[in-house]
Amino acid sequence: MLMCDFSDIREQCRLLQDGGAEALHLDVMDGRFVPNLSYGLPIVAAFRESTDMLLDVHLMMDHPENYISQFADAGADILTIHQESTENAGACIEEIHRCGVLAGIAVNPDTDLDLILDVASSCDLVLIMSVHAGFGGQTFIDKSISRIETMRDHSENYLLEVDGGINASTIGNCANAGVDLFVVGSALFNQKDYGSTLSHLAGLAEPHKDNA
């Protein structure tokens, strides 16, 4: 939702839901863990008040353990923290679960996947960043496909999500590699008709899923 029209959150939610979106992905950036600043608790709460869709909240911030309960209270359904942002990702995942929220672990493109294998086993979601975290509109990093495959081979017990550069050219290969959830930014919000765009992207992904 980083590229949506924030002047009318309720209408944006309606258009996306009517268009077939299954969840809303909210990027919380603190200007420290990533070199960009986005929004925080009030905007997450505003989305919660505007829709009953699942809120997938991605915490791109240092020391997320200090804010887990607050984001849970704001209405997050999924809270994803970065392996690189905390000294104890496992404890963060436990705290998220204690708050009654689904827990995810995210990993940046240059981070060794071995670092998240243990904690991933206790997660509901694993997020593979296919661009360097912090800005929308970036180009998909090709090595992300093999990283997705590695995490899919590791377990079927978590949802596998990809974020960054997802469009008509990249979504099929990601689906074939085992992705369950696709975060789509500029490829969606640069279009006038959300519904037709989402339908087109879903159609490109589905044949690959059937053949996987």
Q: Please check whether residue 176 is in contact with residue 211, taking contact to mean a CB–CB distance below 8 angstroms.
A: yes
Distance CA 24, CA 152 (A): 23
Is 27 considered catalytic here? yes
Whole-number Cα distances in Å, 3 to 90, 109, 124, 158, 189: 31, 22, 26, 27, 6
Q: State both tokens at 118.
A: 């243990």
Determine contact, residues 197/188, Cβ cutoff 8 Å: yes
DSSP 139: P
Which residue matches tokens 């600043």? 37
Q: How far is CA 207 from CA 55, 135, 201, 202, in A?
A: 27, 30, 11, 9
Active site (annotated) includes residue 163: yes
Active-site position among 30, 56, 124, 163:
163
Sign of CA dihedral 153, 154, 157, 162: negative
CA gap 111, 132 in Å, rounded: 11
Catalytic position from the list 5, 18, 27, 30: 27
Instruction: State the catalytic residues.
Output: 27, 163
